[in-house]
Amino acid sequence: MTAPSLFGAVLRHHKNRVLTAALRGHGLRFASFVRQEGYIGGQWVPAASGKLFPVTNPANGEVVGNVADMGEQDAQAAIDAAYNAFQTWHKTTAKERSDLLRKWYNLVQEHKEDLAHLMVLESGKPLVEARGEIAYGSAFLEWFSEEARRIYGEVVPSPATSKEIIFVRHPIGVASMITPWNFPNAMITRKAGAALAAGCTCVVKPAEDTPFSALALAELAEKAGIPPGVVNVVTASHDNTPAVGNLMCSSPKVAGVFFTGSTRVGKLLYRQCAQGVKRIGLELGGNAPFIVFDSANVKNAVAGLMLAKFRNTGQTCISANRVLVQEGVHDQFLAALKEAVEQRVVGDGLKDGVTVGPLINATQLKRVEKIVQETVDCGAHVEMGGSVHSAGECFFQPTILTGVTEDMCCFKEEIFGPVVAIKKFKTEEEAIKIANATEHGLASYFYSQDVSQVWRVARSLEADHEQVQDQRTIEGCSVYIQA
């Protein structure tokens, strides 16, 4: 090793040692996998510019650590590494890929508590929710480790006796993955697990608010024996993100782009991918209706709304955004909801009993505050909450708004915060009309004990709906029906 490279190695080790010590102070027992460099071609490398950017804990504003602020040059290096690795990775057997994914899954399980703590520090979500995300995030790796062995071809009957038609599935190549801050572990494992199982390589660009979870996954992937260049992580600040994202979409070496995030950014990426006619997978914003009919079990409906609305402080794309309650049960539902919301505990996600954490940053807090204020100015009534919480500058009070109308901003925009906006309705037809009056059909929820109504409404809602009749929680399912 030359003197400059030795110095670089010592410097990087020193930075990681200091970073690890700081994180251990927050409760991590084994933080050796915490990194601040990017991961390209099997190497932990700083940004070409040498720049870093800070990652802060939204619960208290403290700097968790600094990570490499990478740009186009670094992104190109990651794409090149993934492209070169694909030449050999796609030739590996399904069993080899399956075994490596299983080893990755096992390491995530081994470090699940540390990964959960790390997630709380950079995202603010309550520890119990972070643990849940690590569990279902690692399950993607487990699932795809098994599915890797079942990527079968197909034989199709031929129209000619002299010919046979056989389909053989091949990986497409390098996959770019741009992931969000609200699920910094699971959105990576879901995308990368599928890509690796199929024989693709990937370049991951995590959100600037939550890069440590991505880097920790890369460290564990390396320890699992996944070859250099198969998984690459490019970290970038808000300023560098547009240029990095554009290259990840436009590079001729990239075969597919996969993104979870806002509709605005999704449309931009779609345009950038069009020139290369690339495969693209988008999971964008939502405006999910949550309908409670007179026939519903009110207790179960309230419990369901608490999950659908307050999970991750309301910062999920499938959060219930427009709550429609039929007039016959409106008052009963509201009273029960108030009681449930009052039991929410707001605070630092690492503290015992906390169920509502901070919003991801001050910008998001101001946005939620603006939506609530504009809704109230238009005539809605604040039943509880409605303002910034005393727990810290990124905390917003769990809020219930009533008297909401369809033209108010809280019904038109995705709130992405702990705010329940309730509108009373009279008929089933009215509820369906309101529910479908949106461009965002990502998810929908409704509660009823009338079997005929369940099927009528399920067919009428223009969304990838969740049917709910006296809900019982079944993790991993998107449709809940109890006969």
Task: Report the alpha-carbon distance of residue 398 to residue 389 in Å, rounded.
Answer: 9
Is the pLDDT assigned to residue 22 strictly greater than 60? no
Query: Taking residues 227-246, what's their average pLDDT?
Result: 97
Q: What are 424-460's pLDDT values in tens digits?
A: 999 999 999 999 998 887 899 999 999 999 999 999 9
pLDDT at 263: 87
Architecture of domain 288-481: 3-Layer(aba) Sandwich (3.40)
Q: How does the average pLDDT of the chain come out, rounded? A: 90
Q: In 10 A of CB 36, how many CB atoms?
A: 22
Q: What are 24-39's pLDDT values in tens digits?
A: 555 555 556 778 999 9
Task: Report the alpha-carbon distance of residue 192 to residue 205 in Å, rounded.
Answer: 12
Task: Report the alpha-carbon distance of residue 378 to residue 366 in Å, rounded.
Answer: 18
Element containing residue 86 per DSSP (H, E): helix 72-89
Candidate from 48-52, 185-189, 203-207, 285-289 with smallest mean pLDDT: 285-289
Told to judge if 283 belongs to the known catalytic residues of this protein, a careful annotator would answer yes
Is the pLDDT assigned to residue 466 strictly greater than 50? no
pLDDT at 78: 98
Q: What are 187-232's pLDDT values in tens digits?
A: 999 999 999 999 999 999 999 999 999 999 999 999 999 999 999 9
- Token pair recorded at residue 131: 């643990």
Beta strands in 134-236 (DSSP E): 154-156, 165-167, 174-178, 201-205, 231-233
Q: What percent of the chain has pLDDT over 90?
A: 83
Task: Report the alpha-carbon distance of residue 403 to residue 389 in Å, rounded.
Answer: 23
Query: Minimal CA–CA distance to 292: which of 175, 183, 101, 445?
Result: 445
Is the pLDDT assigned to residue 15 strictly greater than 70? no
Is the pLDDT assigned to residue 97 strictly greater than 80? yes
Architecture of domain 34-283: 3-Layer(aba) Sandwich (3.40)
What's the pLDDT band for 2 if we cut at 50, 70, 90? very low
What's the pLDDT band for 477 if we cut at 50, 70, 90? very low
Is the pLDDT assigned to residue 474 strictly greater than 90? no
Q: Which is catalytic among the residues 113, 283, 383, 393?
A: 283
pLDDT at 463: 77
Length of the chain: 483
Q: What are 370-425's pLDDT values in tens digits?
A: 999 999 999 999 999 999 999 999 999 999 999 999 999 999 999 999 999 999 99
pLDDT at 275: 86
pLDDT at 442: 87
**DSSP letters spanning 42-68:** TEEE--TT--EEEEE-TTT--EEEEEE
pLDDT at 24: 58
Query: Taking residues 42-57, what's their average pLDDT?
Result: 96
Is the pLDDT assigned to residue 471 strictly greater than 60? no
pLDDT at 23: 58
Task: Report the alpha-carbon distance of residue 319 to residue 311 in Å, rounded.
Answer: 8
pLDDT at 25: 58
Query: Minimal CA–CA distance to 119: which of 193, 175, 59, 37?
Result: 59
Query: Taking residues 65-74, what's their average pLDDT?
Result: 96
* Domain boundaries of the chain, sorted by first residue: 34-283, 288-481
Is the pLDDT assigned to residue 4 strictly greater than 70? no
